[in-house]
């Protein structure tokens, strides 16, 4: 087929389609109108939305007008003004009203008095107009022509929707970026196909065209005015955008710093030569969302707390609430909220962060710091002041929840100190049922509360902090009328630099024993029954306790006579009669070695005056918990052992050697002796030979292994852990300790000088 013939067919087809389009006048949505000031009339307009719109489309509009006038006035003239850019082509009405038109107005005048619009009567009329795409506004004005009285006017908008839809993506961007904008055009009516698209893109406000990066196949650039940003695109070879089809045109654009929002204009022309224009806007958003935390409004919270924030942004994507960095809530609405159960959090300072992000990545975080306090006021100290009359007698602290006081006391006060995150802790303190206002760290009441003639009362504190955290506790105040019994013991033994007392006891039928006073030549130290009877070794000052045994350190009194006086004190602070021990203390000292159940590797940190094994282990043998002792002679490579009741192979224990000792239960071995032998004996030195040597550590303080073994060419050192029952490597910088034995691998023969 020749090109000329094909062109003629296309033109003829376009003319037919154009004629059919002009004959089609759609009726769409209608809407009512009411005069807003004096209510002289109201009515309806149909259609209010015109679909498949294009420039010059002819549409018939039907008006229905109802009079709402008073008896004094009647509507006899109606003036209708068309929207800007529209042209009125025809106006019709009933025979009793006469229409007249211009291109912009239509006037309807009453012909007979009987047909004028009185209250409640209706006038219907039609106006045909050619429209423009977009929103147009009709103006309807009514009057009483005979008296030239205006009866008001109203406006009514009509939307003329284009026969296509234009969408742009992205529709929100940031400055200082380059984007590819996809402009999608969809033919959404049954009108003829779109064969030409005229696009005006932004060239101002920081926008710069880069390239047209994509468009449908067989579409070409008809013209391009880069100065004004106008590009005309045309389909070729019959490749148009038909009803229900879409086409996408891609533009690469660069936005400078501080670019502004801009509108794109799209005009489509179909084969019926019907033009329609619509605009799409791209928002430039460089501002992060605005956030206002509205609650909590206080900096201390408890219980359930609402975290609320208002988030403002036209392009909000998401908000996130975090507590100390942990996300607890997220959402997309303008109201951010989270119900925070603070009782599941430890009392502490927490940072609440509300972060909001918009669709282009602008982000803002607003913080608020609060202190969670779900803890009742904490008692630091409570003291009872005891009085005889108005004379102060002494202060007492409770044992569990009981204050024990001497029976002679006839008046008391209470001083309680609490810590809390607030200084105000209102409440009461009760003596039996008598209430006094509580004041923190203050003696209450002002004058002693009388307990004359009673043996016990209750004291109750009931206070609440400003967040509602409540503290309630009750104590009993009881009188003790008798001092403890005089202390007794089962036996005592004088040792080098000390005394061992076993089975020390006293009793008090009322308040119980608080502690023992141990007077050493008049200087007092205290030890409690719990410390004395502890299953493990306890030591403080000159007193040590273990399983009912009291060990008194008297090293400073070596060679002197010492007076040890013991009394017991009950929980009412009444002291017993005294028990006295007077002994001369041998010159020397003692050292405790704790033994775990099972095997232990020990050594003697002192030089024993008597090295027989029965003498060294005498206190341990009395307990009946020793199973065996083993030593290793590196020079003969022989093992030697001792076990109670068995023929002895090992008869002595000396310093400088290591010993494996096995006991059935935890125990403490007391080693007695001197740090060095008395003159004229020489200071100790210990011989080692090549190979493994089982050595001791003869010092009373810790020393690094490299220092203690400085005179020995050693390879490796191990100690034995009696708890885990494993060997532990001792590095040169590790410390060797008194009472511990060691395996040492030696290269050459040498001497250890402790």
C-alpha 408/C-alpha 480 separation (Å) is: 9
Concatenating the DSSP letter of every residue in 443-472 gives EEEEEEEE-TT-SEEEEEEEEE-TTS-EEE
- Residues 594 and 710 occupy one common structural domain: yes
Unique residue bearing structure tokens 């599941």: 344
Residue pair 216/248 in contact (Cβ under 8 Å)? The answer is yes
Unique residue bearing structure tokens 């008095």: 113
Q: What confidence score (pLDDT) does residue 72 get?
A: 76
Last residue of a domain, one of 451, 479, 507: 479
Mean pLDDT of the region 288-313: 96
Strands 348-358 and 316-323: antiparallel
Q: Check pLDDT > 70 for residue 623.
A: yes
Q: Is the residue at 17 inside a domain?
A: no
Mean pLDDT of the region 51-62: 96
What long-range pairs does 336-339 form, CB within 8 A, spacing at least 24? 336/291, 336/307, 336/308, 336/309, 336/310, 336/311, 337/306, 337/307, 337/308, 337/309, 338/306, 338/307, 339/304, 339/305, 339/306, 339/307
Residue pair 480/570 in contact (Cβ under 8 Å)? The answer is yes
Q: Check pLDDT > 50 for residue 698.
A: yes
Residue 296's Cβ-count burial label (10 Å; 0-12, 13-18, 19+) is middle
Q: Which helix (H) or strand (E) covers residue 404, if one does?
A: strand 402-406
Q: Is the residue at 143 inside a domain?
A: yes
Examine residue 649 and say whether the peptide bond preceding it is cis (omega within 30 degrees of 0).
no
Q: Is the residue at 7 inside a domain?
A: no
Residue 515 CA: distances (Å) to CA of 116, 508, 511, 531, 537:
118, 11, 12, 9, 17
Q: Going edge to edge, which strands form the sheet with 172-173?
A: 172-173, 275-284, 262-270, 194-200, 230-235, 219-225
C-alpha 712/C-alpha 692 separation (Å) is: 13
What is the average pLDDT score of the chain? 93
Could you give the percent of the chain with pLDDT greater than 90? 88
- Residues 212 and 136 occupy one common structural domain: no
Q: What confidence score (pLDDT) does residue 25 get?
A: 35
Domain carrying residue 332: 290-372
More confident: 354 or 7: 354
Q: Check pLDDT > 80 for residue 8.
A: no
Q: Which two tokens stand for residue 555?
A: 């090293």
Q: Check pLDDT > 50 for residue 293.
A: yes
Residue pair 103/84 in contact (Cβ under 8 Å)? The answer is no
- Residues 349 and 237 occupy one common structural domain: no
pLDDT in tens, 447-506: 999 999 999 999 999 999 989 899 999 999 999 999 999 999 999 999 999 999 999 999
Q: What confidence score (pLDDT) does residue 681 get?
A: 83
pLDDT in tens, 87-108: 999 999 998 999 999 999 999 9
Residue 330 CB neighbour total at 10 angstroms: 13
Mark residue 361 as left, alpha or beta (left: phi above 0; alpha: psi -120 to 50; beta: remaining): left
Q: The CATH number of the domain where 299 resides is what? A: 2.60.40.10
- Residue 678's pLDDT band (boundaries 50, 70, 90)? confident
Q: Is the residue at 436 inside a domain?
A: yes
- Residues 600 and 741 occupy one common structural domain: yes
Strand segments (E) across 236-377: 246-255, 262-270, 275-284, 290-295, 300-301, 304-312, 316-323, 326-331, 335-341, 348-358, 363-372
Give the number of residues written for the chain: 754
- Residue 680's pLDDT band (boundaries 50, 70, 90)? confident
Concatenating the DSSP letter of every residue in 535-584 gives SS-EEETTEEEETTEEEEE-GGGTTSEEEEEEEEEETT--B---EEEEEE
Residue 540 CB neighbour total at 10 angstroms: 11
- Residues 180 and 235 occupy one common structural domain: yes
- Residue 37's pLDDT band (boundaries 50, 70, 90)? low
- Residue 36's pLDDT band (boundaries 50, 70, 90)? low
Q: Check pLDDT > 80 for residue 616.
A: yes
Residue pair 219/195 in contact (Cβ under 8 Å)? The answer is no
Q: The CATH number of the domain where 145 resides is what? A: 2.60.40.1510
Q: Is the residue at 278 inside a domain?
A: yes
- Residue 697's pLDDT band (boundaries 50, 70, 90)? very high
Unique residue bearing structure tokens 């200084």: 423
- Residues 435 and 513 occupy one common structural domain: no
Last residue of a domain, one of 254, 284, 314: 284
Q: Is the residue at 2 inside a domain?
A: no
> Which DSSP category does 652 fall into?
B
- Residue 113's pLDDT band (boundaries 50, 70, 90)? confident
- Residues 358 and 244 occupy one common structural domain: no
Q: Report which of 417, 413, 415, 398 is spatially closest to residue 478, judged by C-alpha positions.
A: 398
Domain count, the chain: 6
In the chain, what is the straight-line distance between the N-terminal and C-terminal CA atoms, in Å? Answer: 121
- Residues 604 and 713 occupy one common structural domain: yes
- Residue 29's pLDDT band (boundaries 50, 70, 90)? low
Could you give the percent of the chain with pLDDT greater than 70? 95
- Residues 137 and 34 occupy one common structural domain: yes
| Lowest pLDDT segment from 23-37, 210-224, 228-242 | 23-37
Q: Is the residue at 410 inside a domain?
A: yes
Q: The CATH number of the domain where 422 resides is what? A: 2.60.40
Q: Is the residue at 3 inside a domain?
A: no
Q: Check pLDDT > 60 for residue 19.
A: no
Residue pair 630/657 in contact (Cβ under 8 Å)? The answer is no
Q: Which two tokens stand for residue 478?
A: 């009881």
Mark residue 620 as left, alpha or beta (left: phi above 0; alpha: psi -120 to 50; beta: remaining): alpha
- Residues 353 and 455 occupy one common structural domain: no
Which positions ≥6 away from 652 have C-beta within 8 Å? Answer: 611, 612, 613
Last residue of a domain, one of 372, 400, 427: 372
- Residues 565 and 464 occupy one common structural domain: no
Q: Check pLDDT > 50 for residue 411.
A: yes
Residue 385 CB neighbour total at 10 angstroms: 19
Mean pLDDT of the region 339-360: 96
- Residue 422's pLDDT band (boundaries 50, 70, 90)? confident
What long-range pairs does 315-318 form, CB within 8 A, spacing at least 24? 315/172, 315/283, 315/285, 315/358, 315/359, 315/360, 316/289, 316/356, 316/357, 316/358, 316/359, 317/357, 317/358, 317/359, 318/356, 318/357
Q: The CATH number of the domain where 184 resides is what? A: 2.60.40.2230
- Residues 28 and 70 occupy one common structural domain: yes
**In this structure, is the dihedral angle defined by the CA atoms of residues 167, 172, 174 and 175, taken in order, positive or negative?**
positive
Q: How far is CA 696 from the centre of its chain?
A: 55
Q: How far is CA 386 from the centre of its chain?
A: 49
Q: Check pLDDT > 90 for residue 424.
A: no
Q: What confidence score (pLDDT) does residue 352 get?
A: 98
């Amino acid at each position: 087929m020749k090109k000329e013939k094909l062109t003629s067919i296309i033109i003829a087809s376009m003319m037919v389609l154009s004629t059919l389009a002009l004959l089609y006048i759609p009726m769409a949505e209608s809407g009512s109108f009411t005069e807003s000031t004096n209510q002289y009339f109201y009515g309806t307009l149909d259609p209010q939305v015109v679909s498949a719109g294009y420039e010059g489309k002819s549409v018939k509009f039907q008006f229905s007008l109802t009079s709402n006038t008073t008896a004094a006035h009647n509507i006899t003239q109606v003036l209708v003004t068309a929207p800007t850019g529209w042209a009125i082509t025809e106006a019709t009405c009933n025979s009793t009203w006469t229409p007249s038109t211009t291109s912009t107005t239509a006037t309807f005048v009453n012909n007979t008095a009987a047909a004028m619009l009185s209250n409640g009567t209706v006038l219907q009329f039609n106006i045909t107009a050619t429209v423009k795409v977009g929103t147009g506004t009709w103006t309807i004005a009514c009057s009483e022509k005979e008296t030239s009285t205006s009866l008001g006017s109203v406006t009514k908008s009509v939307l003329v929707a284009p026969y296509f839809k234009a969408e742009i993506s992205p529709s929100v961007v940031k400055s200082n970026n380059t984007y590819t904008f996809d402009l999608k055009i969809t033919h959404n009516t049954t009108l003829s196909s779109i064969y030409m698209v005229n696009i005006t893109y932004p060239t101002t406000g920081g926008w710069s065209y880069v390239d047209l990066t994509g468009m449908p196949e067989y579409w070409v650039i008809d013209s391009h005015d880069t100065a004004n940003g106008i590009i005309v695109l045309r389909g070729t070879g019959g490749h148009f955008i038909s009803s229900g089809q879409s086409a996408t045109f891609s533009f690469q654009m660069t936005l400078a710093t501080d670019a502004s929002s801009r509108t794109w204009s799209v005009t489509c022309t179909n084969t019926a030569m019907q033009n329609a224009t619509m605009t799409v806007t791209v928002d430039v958003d460089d501002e992060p969302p605005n956030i206002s935390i509205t609650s909590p409004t206080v900096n201390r919270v408890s219980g359930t707390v609402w975290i609320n924030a208002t988030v403002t942004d036209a392009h909000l994507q998401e908000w996130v609430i975090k507590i100390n960095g942990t996300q607890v809530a997220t959402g997309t609405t303008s109201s951010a909220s989270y119900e925070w159960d603070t009782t599941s959090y430890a009392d502490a300072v927490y940072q609440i962060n509300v972060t909001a992000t918009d669709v282009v990545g602008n982000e803002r975080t607003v913080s608020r710091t609060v202190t969670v306090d779900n803890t009742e006021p904490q008692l630091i100290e409570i003291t009872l002041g005891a009085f005889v009359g108005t004379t102060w007698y002494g202060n007492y602290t409770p044992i569990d929840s009981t204050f024990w006081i001497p029976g002679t006391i006839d008046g008391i006060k209470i001083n309680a100190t609490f810590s809390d995150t607030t200084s105000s802790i209102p409440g009461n303190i009760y003596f039996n049922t008598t209430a006094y206002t509580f004041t923190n760290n203050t003696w209450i009441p002002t004058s002693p509360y009388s307990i004359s003639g009673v043996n016990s009362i209750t004291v109750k504190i009931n206070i609440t902090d400003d967040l509602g955290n409540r503290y309630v506790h009750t104590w009993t105040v009881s009188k003790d009328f008798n001092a403890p019994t005089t202390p007794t013991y089962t036996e005592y033994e004088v040792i080098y630099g000390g005394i061992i007392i076993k089975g020390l006891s006293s009793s008090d039928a009322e308040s119980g024993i608080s502690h023992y006073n141990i007077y050493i030549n008049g200087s007092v130290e205290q030890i409690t029954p719990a410390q004395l009877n502890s299953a493990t070794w306890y030591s403080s000052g000159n007193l040590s306790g273990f399983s009912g045994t009291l060990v008194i350190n008297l090293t400073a009194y070596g060679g002197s006579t010492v007076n040890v006086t013991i009394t017991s004190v009950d929980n009412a602070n009444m002291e017993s009669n005294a028990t006295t021990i007077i002994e001369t203390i041998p010159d020397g000292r003692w050292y405790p070695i704790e033994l775990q159940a099972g095997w232990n590797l020990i050594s003697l940190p002192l030089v024993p005056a008597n090295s027989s094994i029965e003498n060294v282990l005498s206190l341990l043998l009395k307990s009946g918990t020793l199973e065996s002792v083993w030593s290793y002679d590196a020079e003969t490579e022989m093992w030697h052992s001792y076990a109670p009741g068995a023929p002895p192979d090992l008869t002595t224990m000396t310093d400088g050697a290591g010993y494996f000792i096995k006991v059935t239960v935890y125990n403490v071995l007391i080693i007695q002796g001197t740090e060095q032998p008395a003159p004229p004996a020489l200071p100790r030195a210990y011989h080692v030979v090549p190979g493994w040597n089982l050595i001791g550590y003869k010092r009373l303080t810790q020393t690094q292994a490299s220092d203690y073994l400085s005179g020995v060419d050693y390879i490796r050192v191990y100690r034995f852990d009696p708890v885990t029952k494993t060997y532990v490597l001792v590095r040169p910088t590790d410390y060797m300790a008194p009472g511990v034995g060691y395996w040492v691998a030696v290269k050459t023969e040498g001497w250890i000088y402790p």
